[in-house]
Amino acid sequence: MKSLPYVIALVVVVLLVFVPWVASDVMMQFAIDALLLAVLAQAWNILGGFTGYVSFGNSVFYGLGTYGTAIAMAQYQLPFWVGLVLGVILAVVCALLIGFPILRLRGPYFAIATLGLSAAMGAIVSNMPIAGSNIGLVLPLVRADTMFYELSLGLLVVCTLTVAWISRSRFGMGLVAIREDEDAAGTMGVNTTTFKITALVLSAFFTALAGGIHAYWISFIDPASAFDPTLNVRMVIMAVFGGPGTVFGPLVGSFILSTIYEYLASSISTAAALLFGLVIVLAVIFMPRGLANMVGGVRAHGPRFFLQNIRENRL
């Protein structure tokens, strides 16, 4: 039974491969966006889900990935793959530079510290002529939704396989130990600094790749969109909704919430954000540990599971 989720995931991936053959142009654009958001949620899960360090700074790595790709392609006419590598290098270097000082903070102090990173980086980039300043950069236009879909799906598969490895490895056990009790983990011999930095770098790596793919896909970026802090909020919400610290929870959460938001935006327009927020509030009240935890909880306790969550969280 433990292998059943992986069998289901394999079947879903095989089905997703054939989507470009049957989907309309509008459906393809939604699918690419949903896949990239799932990558972001899964990448955030490596740090936030397994170590418990709730980061609101992952949009910095996303922005560096987009700008690394855009600068290489728009300013130096380099191939997309070169720009993608440049964006990843920028994100990883940034993760290493900010990781050592900022990961010394814990809990709300860490979250608050990461909250201002996107705004700071956006202000820096908006004053750099090579990055187009506030105007932004225009990338070469290419009509290849199938290519971007395949890149997004492939990246999501690789990111998920990495998370699956983490969940079964000694490294992953160390991250979970940090999440449960960091001081005790250090006492037991876990090099908490190295483990946290590694998790941050892995998270930055996949986030930057998603940013680079998105930049080439939309063919235009500016500081406001590249370093949008609300994007990081969506990563957190999707991962937490699905189940942080699990392999498939962030994926399920991101696909469900992306679909709900798209439906509400097309049907109710301006009220979409409000209703989307209401869905999140209800989810936090009735299943604060996500869908993955809810499945086991309902199986064990039935409808009482939701009442227990309300009592435990004093709601």
- Residue 220: what are its φ and ψ, rounded to 5°? -155, 135
Q: Answer yes or no: is pLDDT of 159 > 90.
A: yes
Q: Based on the domain organization, do 188 and 151 belong to the same domain? A: yes
User: How many domains is the chain partitioned into structurally?
Assistant: 2
Q: Based on the domain organization, do 314 and 211 belong to the same domain? A: no
Tell me which residue has tokens 């996500």.
290
What is the span of the domain harbouring residue 276? 272-315
Predicted local distance difference test score (pLDDT) of residue 119? 84
Strand 137-138 vs strand 220-221: parallel, antiparallel, or unpaired?
antiparallel
Percent of the chain at pLDDT above 70? 87
Residues 229 and 112: their CA atoms lie apart, in Å, by 12
Q: Based on the domain organization, do 246 and 137 belong to the same domain? A: yes
Question: Cβ distance 14 to 153 under 8 Å?
Answer: no
Q: Answer yes or no: is pLDDT of 314 > 80.
A: no
77 or 296, which is more confident? Answer: 77
Question: Cβ distance 80 to 216 under 8 Å?
Answer: yes
Q: Based on the domain organization, do 169 and 307 belong to the same domain? A: no
Amino acid residing at 244: P
Question: Cβ distance 87 to 66 under 8 Å?
Answer: yes
Supply the DSSP string of 60-87, one letter for each residue.
HHHHHHHHHHHIIIIIT---HHHHHHHH
Q: Based on the domain organization, do 47 and 183 belong to the same domain? A: yes
Q: Based on the domain organization, do 159 and 293 belong to the same domain? A: no
Residues 154 and 129: their CA atoms lie apart, in Å, by 34
The pTM (predicted TM-score) of the whole model is 0.92
216 or 315, which is more confident? Answer: 216
Q: Based on the domain organization, do 254 and 124 belong to the same domain? A: yes
Predicted local distance difference test score (pLDDT) of residue 230? 84
Work out the pLDDT band at 146, boundaries 50, 70, 90. Answer: very high
Quick: pLDDT tens for 47-69.
999 999 989 999 999 999 999 99
Percent of the chain at pLDDT above 90? 59
Q: Answer yes or no: is pLDDT of 165 > 90.
A: yes
Predicted local distance difference test score (pLDDT) of residue 265? 73
Predicted local distance difference test score (pLDDT) of residue 311? 67
Predicted local distance difference test score (pLDDT) of residue 269? 60
3-state secondary structure 193-241: HHHHHHHHHHHHHHHHHHHHHHHHHHCEECHHHHCCHHHHHHHHHHHHH
| Range picked from 152-161, 248-257, 282-291 for highest mean pLDDT | 152-161
Q: Based on the domain organization, do 216 and 254 belong to the same domain? A: yes
Q: Based on the domain organization, do 235 and 116 belong to the same domain? A: yes
Q: Residue range 84-96: average pLDDT? A: 97
Residues 77 and 67: their CA atoms lie apart, in Å, by 14
Phi-psi region of 137 (alpha: psi -120 to 50; beta: other; left: phi over 0): beta
DSSP 8-state assignment for residue 246: S
Residues 101 and 196: their CA atoms lie apart, in Å, by 12
Q: Based on the domain organization, do 106 and 212 belong to the same domain? A: yes
Work out the pLDDT band at 254, boundaries 50, 70, 90. Answer: very high
User: What CATH number corresponds to the domain at position 248?
Assistant: 1.10.3470
Residues 202 and 165: their CA atoms lie apart, in Å, by 13
Across 236-265, b (16+ Cβ under 10 Å) vs e yields: bbbbbbbbbbbbbbbbbbbbbbbeebeebe
Residues 132 and 141: their CA atoms lie apart, in Å, by 17
Q: Based on the domain organization, do 308 and 245 belong to the same domain? A: no
Q: Based on the domain organization, do 212 and 282 belong to the same domain? A: no
Query: Tokens in use for 37?
Result: 């958001």
Predicted local distance difference test score (pLDDT) of residue 270? 61
